[in-house]
Each structure stands twice: as C-alpha cells, then as structure tokens.
Amino acid sequence: MISLLSREACPPRSICEYSASKDGRFAWFLLTWHPEKDVVLEEIVAEIKLEILNSNINNISRLEIEKWLKTFFADLHWKLHARLRKSSLVEKGISLFFGVLYDHELYFVQSGRIFAIITDARSIRPAGKDWQNYQVQSQQGLQLFGYADNDLNLKPCRLYIAEKHRLIVLSGELAQKIIPRVSDPATIDALIETYAGEDNPLWLVLEGRERLIKPKHRKLSRVQVSSIILLSLTVLTALYMAFGNRMIDQLVHKTRLSVQKEKTLRLEQIPTTLKINTENIRNYMDRIVSLPARNISLEVAWSTELPYTVNLSPAFNLYNIYLVAGSRLIAFDKKNRQLLWSKSFAGEIRSVLQGQGNLLVSLANQQVVGLKEDGSETWQQSLPTESIVVDRFAPCEIRSADDPRLDRSIVVIPSRRGISIIDPARGETLSSITLKRDLQALSAYDSFANCFYAVVDGAILCIELKIEN
C-alpha cells in the first residue's frame, strides 16, 4: 500500500487535497500553487476541486485513466482560461499536479512550478518534468494551467512506487532550496519539515509500504498450458518457414521425386473416393516448386556527390564503404556517409578485397598491401606479374544463404543505365531500376545492409533491395 507521510500547503495560494478509498488501493491527489495573494484564487481553486469531485473519477478504470486525464484537463484548461483572463492576477495561470493512484501505480499530469521526485535509500531522481532550471522558463514554456490561448499539451505519466520508495511532490521554490542540500536521501523528508514556516510552502510525501493484498500465484490450467504450447509451436513454425533456408521445401521436393520414381504404386491402390488425377498432382507440385521469388523491388535509399572520379566498384564491410580514385583509397562510414580516412599509394589501384580482418589492395606496380580498417598498413608483398583490373559490372547471384528473405536465388544484371533482377528459373524480370546517367561501377551485394552501391555520374547511390515476405 501507499502511505501519506507528510503534506503542507498555504490556501488559497497553494492547496494539497486528496481522497482515498477505504481499502487504501485507490486515491487521488490534487496540488496547486500560485505566487500571488489574491482572494480570486479561492474561487479558481474551488472550481478546480468541484470539477474533479463532479467528474466521477472514482469509477475510472486503470485502462482508461491516461485518456481521461488528457481529455479532462484539456477541457478544464479552457474553462479556467476565461476566468483567469478576467481576473486581476498578474500571472494568469496556475501550477497544478494531479495524480491517480491504483495500488502502487500512480498516473499523473503536472504543469507549471510543481515538480515530483522519487527517492530510495541511495538516489534521488525526477519523476515527470525536471525541476532544475525551471526558473529560466517563460510562462508559455512552463505550460501554466489556464494561461495559454491554445490547447495545453499535458502528457500523462505513469510511475510505480515500490516498497520503501518515496514520492515527493513540491513547489519549484522548495525544490531549489532542498534538493541540492540533500546528501542522504533518507533525511529529505525531515529536511522538508523544516520549511513549514516558509512563504507559501507546498509539498506532499508518499511512501510505498508492503502490499495489503499480495497477488496469488495461480497454477496454469490444462487449457492454458495447451494454448501456450500451440502458440509457441505456431510462432516457431512461422520463424522456421521465414528463416529456415527452405529446408522444408527441399524435403518436399525430394519426397516428390522419390514418389515419382516408385514403380510399385498402381492406380488400383488409390481409393476410388479420392478422385484426383495424378497428372494434375504432378503439375501442381511443379507449379509450387517453380513459384517465382517473393515480391522484389529496387529503391534508391540515399545518394552522395563525390568530388573525384571512381575507377573501381565500391568495396565494403559491415561498417564502412571503400572507394577507389586512381591511386587513392577513400573510406566512408555507412550510416552517416562521413569521410573516415584517405590513403594514397605509389601505383594505381587495380582491386580492393575485404579479407579476414584486413583490406587487400592490389596495385599496378605488382604490389599487394594489407590495411586495417583505420587505414594503417600491416604488410606489403610483391606479385610476380602485373595485377589485372577487376570487372566493374559483373552480374551477381544472390542466394537464400546471402539473404534469408529470399525463397531461392535471383540474379542481378547491371546495364548501361539500369539494374535488373531476373528469376533464373523462369527467366522473368522481377524488378528493375532506371538511372538518369550511365552506370560507372556497381558493388557486390551487401548482405548486411541489403543493398548495392552504385557509382553514377560522380555520385554514389545506395540502392536498397526491398523484399516483401
């Protein structure tokens, strides 16, 4: 249960009202604060309390409370807005905190200069809005209740008050004076009591105690156990079908071939009630095996202009992209496309290969250089003959092992101004993308990011492979 340890207010400038059920499992708390002394505050505060008492708050369920808080206080904001505008108050807005407690769960809204903190034996942390630097906020920024001539965007918060934890709600003035002085969180409530004589004090201290009604540990019924097993099997089956690399399809295919090769099966052995033609079965199985790949499309995810001419297909690893411009090797970050490093070599670069933890750079002067991911050189070797230039437009095959989203292999074929995806089993074009300029180079398939890197007219394009399961 939640216990009320301490509360203090100075009506009508500040109030601290609450109501709780007899069993202690439900309660609501209302705190308001205003810096001025004016009798008109009595009418405004009384209207707020009356609206809450007439709102049937005791019958609002836990599932509906957040929506209710947002709607109720949005309407109440406009009701008080007109009254505050007509008043003689200099600050035409109210600081407000309202919380609804269900057992140990508190749902609350707050506005203005009232703040909440949660403490345990070792720490103090804010709950909802932070009290620090609130004094530099404008009245509009404080979201004073009834002040703005537009909708007040109050976001309900949820807080669990565990056993031996304390929730402290207090005004911003007291928060500035008290919280910086606390060295031991266990003494904060005693320190708060010393400020009872301050001008317009406001606080509320709640503590989590042992539950009055502890939840019973019920045993699962047979129906529940069976339902859990069936749901688990369904989920596992769905995951297996989605990411099982077509093992079931291979088993079906092998079984079908075994049945077709079986010579002892005769038509007389098939019951006459099963009126299915074997030729139709064979055609149906062939159609299943020959189904095209999943829905596939190519889209340009991003593009970046390059200040140099790229000579080879882009290379990559899990995190970086590597571009070759003559004798220079340039590394970029995949996510933000920022330049990581650039390195020049004695000869023209003919190929770049991502090896086991190293980049292998082949040069025209018969040298092969090993680089780390940061561009530092680890080794250098000589080749017996001159290196050849790697093909920049070679077609590539993407298998289900390369991309688990695929049902079976597809072939990516670059052309002068486009890229096409072909289903090799059916000869069908599954998708294609047309470029505005000539394709200068195309990388291999990046199975980690599910994309290609294309160089077109002095720019690098990330072309994403979209597959709808």
pLDDT tens, per residue, the chain with 469 residues: 788 999 999 999 999 999 999 888 899 999 999 999 888 899 999 999 999 999 989 899 999 999 999 999 999 999 999 889 989 899 999 999 999 999 999 999 999 999 999 999 888 999 988 888 887 788 788 889 999 888 888 889 999 999 989 999 999 999 999 998 888 888 888 889 899 888 999 999 999 987 655 555 567 778 888 889 989 988 887 776 666 545 555 455 446 544 544 444 444 444 554 454 556 656 555 554 445 455 788 888 888 888 888 888 888 888 889 999 889 999 999 888 888 999 999 888 888 887 766 788 888 888 888 888 888 888 888 888 777 776 677 678 888 878 877 877 888 888 888 888 888 777 788 888 888 888 888 888 888 888 889 988 888 889 898 887 5
Q: Is 234 a member of any domain?
A: no
128 plus 50 within the same structural domain: yes
Bridge partners of 90, per DSSP, are none
Q: Is 269 a member of any domain?
A: no
Exposed (0-12), middle (13-18) or buried (19+): which is 83, by Cβ within 10 Å? middle
459 plus 369 within the same structural domain: no
187 plus 98 within the same structural domain: yes
For residues 351 and 359, the answer to whether their CB atoms sit within 8 Å is no
At residue 267, the pLDDT reads 45
Q: Is 371 a member of any domain?
A: yes
At residue 316, the pLDDT reads 86
Residue ending a domain, among 176, 208, 240, is 208
Q: Sheet holding 157-160: strands in order across?
A: 14-20, 26-33, 95-102, 105-111, 157-160
18 plus 154 within the same structural domain: yes
141 plus 123 within the same structural domain: yes
Q: Is 254 a member of any domain?
A: no
Q: Is 244 a member of any domain?
A: no
At residue 36, the pLDDT reads 92
Q: Is 106 a member of any domain?
A: yes
Provide the residue range defining the domain that includes 364.
314-329+343-389
356 plus 449 within the same structural domain: no
CATH number at residue 23: 3.60.40.10
Q: Is 178 a member of any domain?
A: yes
CATH number at residue 383: 2.40.10.480
31 plus 124 within the same structural domain: yes
384 plus 398 within the same structural domain: no
188 plus 138 within the same structural domain: yes
At residue 67, the pLDDT reads 93
pTM of the model: 0.48
Residue ending a domain, among 175, 208, 241, is 208
Q: Is 173 a member of any domain?
A: yes
162 plus 36 within the same structural domain: yes
Count of domains in the chain? Answer: 3
320 plus 192 within the same structural domain: no
140 plus 203 within the same structural domain: yes
